[in-house]
Amino acid sequence: MHDLPDIVDILREAVRNGASDIHLCAGLAPAMRVRGDIRPCHGRAISRQECREIILGILTESQRARLERDLELDFGLQVERTGRFRGNAHFSRGALEAVFRHIPDEIPSIMELGHRPSIMQLCNRIDGLILVSGMTGSGKTTTLASMIRWISENRDAVIVTIEDPIEFYLPNNRSIIKQRELGTDTRSFDEALRHVLRQDPDVVMVGEMRDAETVRAALTAAETGYLVLATLHTNDAPQALDRIVDYFPGDEQAQVLGQLANTLAGVLAQRFIPSEDALRRIMVSELLMNNSAVSACIREHRFEQIVGLMEIGRKDGMHTFDDMLEELYLSGYISKEEVVAGARDPAHMEGLRRKPAQKS
């Protein structure tokens, strides 16, 4: 009879190896994702029953009840001398399994993450909607936390966050920050948003916009005069706008387009690609800032023109993925193959040439 593997040992080993994610799967050894690659960690395979016992052993009674009811559970986990993790428990072929994302102790600054200074222009807005988009694992939550950090350091404000679960613990600094977690402090994103206007906020952060009700409440809050920050699961800035509109039936879309045209402050889309030496991942982003031309395109649902407006909006702080890919390649950070694979205009990227290194 094997002793039950210790989840703390598994998580600590993964963190020592620089892992971003740790997977517990029935019938397999625990695995970790390091610089984008999956590799085994911490010994032997764990059985279906062991996997279940490990996961249930770290959940509270109320969390177990939510998991039994919903068959999915997002939760936070603090491990002494190791750090904080965001966990997701779920079922696969009837077996209880889990994934853990390591949350760094320190919130990086906007510039440390690789963003451009124009992000701080957005953070200084008094009102409007800021969307941070990207696929799972693209660093949206970290970017959102760094933006809230900047606001709390530079503005006297009341900031209310609605998260599932709370990941980074945000320091107050000059601001008052109230972090609210689904299942513990509120029932749902949209319900929390409906009540948040009575909590005297200046800034509202929504961990994720998952449905029409949450989007509607976020748009209303931005329309009412608050700065609202939220995330979406989309690949780029135009898709983020599409996703917002697609949440609603056809007869409501014209109204939503009008609200979005009026309230949108900007869309930041991001993803990670390997560095040229394959030793780290580099963040690549694009930024759409709302102006009169962008607002008109949104109102008239001409999203196919958004990329062109970002290209001619560089003086306003906008940039596209291709702009940043080209800059990173010419500076020697990423390979030509990664640039071509990730570009909207691969033919242009094929023609790029770096300047020869200067001889000393």
Quick one: what percent of the chain has pLDDT higher than 70? 98
Q: What is the pLDDT of residue 36?
A: 83
What pLDDT shows up at residue 80? 87
Residues 177 and 314 in one domain: yes
Asked if the structure places residue 325 within a domain, the reply is no
User: For residue 216, is it within any domain?
Assistant: yes
Residues 11 and 131 in one domain: no
Based on the domain organization, do 147 and 195 belong to the same domain? yes
pLDDT digits (tens, 9 = 90+) for 211-241: 999 999 999 999 999 999 999 999 999 999 9
Q: What is the pLDDT of residue 43?
A: 77
Strand partners of residue 170: none
The angle that helices 292-299 and 250-263 make with each other, rounded to 10 degrees, is 170
Instruction: Report yes or no on whether pTM surpasses 0.85.
Output: yes
Q: In what order do the strands lie in the sheet with 128-133?
A: 176-181, 158-163, 203-206, 227-232, 128-133, 264-274, 281-289
Residues 48, 143 within the same domain? no
Q: 123 with 54, same domain?
A: no
Q: Are residues 269 and 138 in the same domain?
A: yes
Peptide bond into 165 cis (omega under 30): yes
Question: For the segment 33-80, what is each residue's pLDDT rounded down to a tens digit?
Answer: 998 889 998 678 999 999 999 999 999 999 999 999 999 999 999 998
Residue 129 and residue 184 in one domain? yes
Containing structural domain, residue 259: 118-319
- Which segments of the chain have a pLDDT < 70? 1-2, 42, 357-360
Residue 190 lies in a domain: yes
Q: What is the pLDDT of residue 325?
A: 97
Both 130 and 98 in one domain: the answer is no
Domain for residue 97, yes or no? Answer: yes
Local structure of 114: helix, strand or coil: coil
* Phi, psi torsion values for 172, nearest 5 degrees: -70, -45
Q: Give the three-state DSSP class for 133.
A: strand
| Strand ordering across the sheet containing 21-24 | 37-40, 31-34, 21-24, 95-103, 83-92, 72-79
Residue at 138 is within a domain: yes
CA neighbor of 166 nearest in space, from 205, 130, 139, 138: 205
Whether the Cβ atoms of residue 55 and residue 44 lie closer than 8 Å to each other = no
Q: Are 331 and 294 in contact (CB under 8 A)?
A: no
Residue 197 lies in a domain: yes
Number of domains in the chain: 2
Residues 83 and 186 in one domain: no
Whether residue 148 is found in the same domain as residue 226: yes
Instruction: Report the C-alpha gap between 346 and 354 in whole angstroms.
Output: 16
Q: What is the CATH number of the domain that holds 292?
A: 3.40.50.300
CATH number at residue 11: 3.30.450.90
Q: Which residues make Cβ contacts (< 8 Å) with residue 6, sequence separation at least 6?
A: none
Q: Which of 48, 77, 103 is the last residue of a domain?
A: 103
125 neighbors 265 (Cβ within 8 angstroms)? yes
Are both 89 and 167 inside the same structural domain? no
Q: How far apart are CA 108 and CA 117, in angstroms?
A: 14
Among the listed residues 103, 102, 112, 142, the one whose alpha carbon sits nearest the alpha carbon of residue 268:
142
Asked, for residue 347, whether it belongs to a domain, the answer is no
The verdict on 141 and 223 lying in the same domain is yes
